[in-house]
Amino acid sequence: MTKSIKECYDIIHTQDIIERNAAMALRAYDCALFGKHIGKFRKNRVSFDNVVTVMKEAGDMLNTELKETSIGGLAKNYRESAGNLGLLHDM
């Protein structure tokens, strides 16, 4: 049984996502270990909670088309190019 180009693309795309997620999980773990050990040598000037609050406020001020979401940012470009190639499922 042969697969269509679209089915092959979906398989490759899924593998890329899995590999990228695994790499980023390892990176996050490395950062957590680094943060845990560096805390012994220096004191943060800004708390993590303050950073998250400010980032949330900045994100709320951004226009939706500028955010990296399923409808904006790179997703918009992907949808346009994939749509032209006929690779998107009907949504």
What residue type is assigned to position 30 of the chain? D
Cβ-contact 53, 46 below 8 angstroms? no
Q: Which residue has the higher pLDDT, 80 or 38?
A: 38
- 90 pLDDT higher than 90: no
pLDDT tens digits, residue range 54-86?
999 998 898 877 777 766 667 777 766 766 666
Domain extent listing, the chain: 1-43
Two structure tokens written together for 63 = 């226009």
